[in-house]
Amino acid sequence: MAQQPQTQAVRPTTTYIKGDMVLFRDVERFWLGLPGHTFVGRVERSWRHVDTGKVLYDLTELGSLSYRAGIDPDYMRPLPATDAMHDIDTAPLNETDTGAMTPAAVAWLRQHLVQDAAALPARR
């Protein structure tokens, strides 16, 4: 009987740059069932660990503005702008009921209406 070759799962690697928004999970806190194990962060810098050669990241935790150093990218996920802006991009602008829109979409529209109204000439 021929033996099937074993395959190893290949994890796609994501490279982050300064300013990228990410979701990070503190794996030790997660497995211990402790609170505060997952947060949104902003990438501040990347660097290569001298002993392991692995690229690690320093993040600013946005909820507390705490600095977190040496974050393993295996426990980070990108937070793309398209996901953050999806509710605004798909807001049902034809609806007369603003309740059909998410609060973020309504806030964005109100902000831009105020800005646009300020740019218009005064009514007579």
Residue 116 has pLDDT above 80, yes or no: no
**Rounded distance, CA 87 to CA 114, Å?**
20
Per the DSSP assignment, residues forming a β-bridge with 41 are 22, 61
Taking all residues of the chain, what is their mean pLDDT, rounded to a whole number?
84
Q: pLDDT tens-digit profile of 59-92?
A: 999 999 999 999 999 999 999 999 888 877 887 7
Q: Model pTM greater than 0.75?
A: no
At 106, which helix (H) or strand (E)? helix 103-119
Q: What would the two tokens of residue 124 be? A: 């007579």
